[in-house]
């Protein structure tokens, strides 16, 4: 481990830099003095192909790559596109890392996913348990594709000396999240449902599953800080969890969001729909000791900011 990066003197590429997490990472990079931040456009550079990745490196000439780009969705999207999600995530990482090696990159940072953990991993999830079982089936293709890149980076560090870092953020949320009902995750999906139900005067909102499973949620600004801390301090791709270490049941989460959205009707659960992994909660000891990083935003504050942001966007769209 070492402090290796002065952002003001570093050319950095953020794949997925226009996305929910990526845009916050880019904003924080600029706040830390980065002046050359490349954000590859998907229409211009197909990062699932070797040619697209080589063209991206030729265009931006980065010293550091923060690889945030992913093709992913909620449970429904994962069930519809397991093949696409495996291929796209595997191919992007494969080509990006190989080109990083060929070009002598100073640092490659891989953002992984909590979906990589085994379905029955002990709670809280510890990094050393990543390979002790198969992931939850609905998102296994995505999770395994991402996890395979950890092995690639470890092999490239061993054989070629490529410095890299790997972080595993838990489920993210916050202003700017994806509210598309086809692909959104649980928090934006619930916010949208409750606000629309309030506006229509509906008596009840129907939610997937039983509501008994637990999840852990990390505010997007906290996740971005953790990614940049890993980029600055870490040179070996030992996975590092980024989370709050606190879990909440989906039922309790739904009640909190209902209250923040001002919806006064009932919540009905649909147990014919899948719950996904039974529990999710991370051990964050490694992040504290290696990165001097902890999450700063409480779920109450983060949810309030997210609901306020979404209400504001809806008002602007309606105006």
Please state, rounded to an integer, the average pLDDT across all residues of the chain: 94
User: Which residue matches tokens 């192909």?
Assistant: 49
> How many residues are present in the chain?
319
Specify whether 142 is catalytic. yes
* Sequence-separated (6 or more) residues with CB below 8 Å from residue 104: none
Nearest one of 55, 50, 63 to 6, comparing CA atoms: 63
In whole angstroms, what is the distance from residue 128 CA to residue 277 CA? 19
Query: Coil, strand or helix: which one is 226?
Result: helix
* Sequence-separated (6 or more) residues with CB below 8 Å from residue 143: 113, 115, 116, 117, 135, 136
Query: Coil, strand or helix: which one is 259?
Result: helix
pTM of full prediction above 0.85: yes
Q: Could you please report the per-residue DSSP string of 31-89? A: HTT--EEE---TTT--TTSHHHHHHHHHHH--SEEEE-------HHHHHH-HHHHHHHH
Confidence of residue 3 (pLDDT cuts 50, 70, 90): low
CB 79 within 8 A of CB 138: yes
pLDDT digits (tens, 9 = 90+) for 301-319: 999 999 999 999 999 998 8
Kindly tell me if the per-residue pLDDT of 99 is higher than 80.
yes
Kindly report the CATH class assigned to 7-174+217-246+278-297.
Answer: alpha beta
* Helix-helix angle 82-102:50-60, to 10 degrees: 50
Q: What are phi and psi of 262, to 5 degrees?
A: 70, 25
The DSSP element (H or E) to which 228 belongs, if any, is helix 220-233
CB 108 within 8 A of CB 96: yes
Cα 102 to the center of its chain, rounded Å? 27
pLDDT of residue 4: 67
In whole angstroms, what is the distance from residue 141 CA to residue 171 CA? 17
Write down the catalytic residue from 85, 117, 142, 156.
142
Q: Which of 72-76, 90-94, 212-216 has the highest mean pLDDT?
A: 90-94
**Is the Cα torsion angle 219, 224, 230, 236 positive or negative in sign?**
positive
Residues 145-164 have a mean pLDDT of 98
Residues 234-262 have a mean pLDDT of 97
- Considering the chain, tell me which residue range(s) the CATH 3.40.50.720 domain(s) occupy: 7-174+217-246+278-297
Number of neighbouring beta carbons within 10 Å of residue 38:
18
- Considering the chain, tell me which residue range(s) the CATH 3.90.25.10 domain(s) occupy: 186-212+248-277+308-318
Residues 69-88 have a mean pLDDT of 85
DSSP state of 277: S
Confidence of residue 205 (pLDDT cuts 50, 70, 90): very high
User: Which residue matches tokens 């301090």?
Assistant: 233
Kindly tell me if the per-residue pLDDT of 281 is higher than 80.
yes
**Is the Cα torsion angle 297, 19, 292, 153 positive or negative in sign?**
positive
CATH topology of domain 186-212+248-277+308-318: UDP-galactose 4-epimerase; domain 1 (3.90.25)
User: Which residue matches tokens 């996740």?
Assistant: 223
Lowest mean pLDDT among 40-49, 71-80, 254-263: 71-80
The four Cα atoms 195, 16, 149, 159 give a dihedral, to 10 degrees, of -160
pLDDT digits (tens, 9 = 90+) for 182-204: 778 899 999 999 999 999 999 99
* Sequence-separated (6 or more) residues with CB below 8 Å from residue 46: 52
């Amino acid at each position: 481990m070492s402090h290796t990066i002065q952002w003001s003197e570093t050319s950095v590429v953020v794949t997925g830099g226009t996305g929910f997490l990526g845009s916050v990472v880019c904003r924080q990079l600029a706040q830390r003095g980065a002046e050359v931040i490349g954000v590859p456009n998907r229409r211009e550079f197909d990062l699932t192909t070797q040619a697209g990745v080589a063209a991206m490196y030729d265009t931006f000439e980065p010293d550091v790559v923060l690889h945030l780009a992913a093709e992913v969705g909620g449970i429904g999207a994962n069930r519809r596109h397991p093949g696409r999600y495996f291929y796209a995530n595997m191919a992007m990482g494969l080509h990006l890392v190989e080109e990083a090696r060929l070009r002598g990159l100073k640092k490659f940072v891989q953002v992984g996913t909590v979906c990589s953990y085994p379905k029955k991993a002990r709670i809280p999830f510890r990094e050393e348990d990543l390979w002790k079982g198969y992931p939850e089936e609905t998102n296994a293709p995505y999770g395994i594709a991402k996890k395979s890149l950890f092995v690639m980076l470890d092999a490239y560090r061993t054989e070629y000396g490529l410095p890299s870092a790997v972080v595993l953020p838990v489920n993210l949320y916050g202003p700017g999240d994806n509210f598309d009902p086809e692909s959104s995750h649980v928090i934006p999906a619930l916010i949208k449902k409750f606000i629309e139900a309030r506006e229509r005067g509906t008596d009840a909102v129907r939610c997937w599953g039983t509501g008994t499973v637990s999840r852990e949620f990390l505010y997007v600004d906290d996740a971005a800080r953790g990614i940049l801390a890993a980029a600055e301090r870490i040179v070996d791709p030992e996975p590092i969890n980024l989370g709050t270490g606190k879990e909440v049941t989906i039922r309790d989460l739904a009640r909190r969001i209902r209250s923040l959205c001002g919806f006064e009707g009932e919540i009905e659960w649909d147990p014919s729909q899948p719950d996904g992994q039974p529990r999710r909660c991370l051990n964050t000891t490694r992040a504290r000791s290696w990165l001097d990083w902890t999450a700063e935003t409480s779920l109450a504050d983060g949810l309030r900011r997210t609901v306020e942001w979404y209400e504001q966007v809806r008002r602007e769209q309606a105006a």
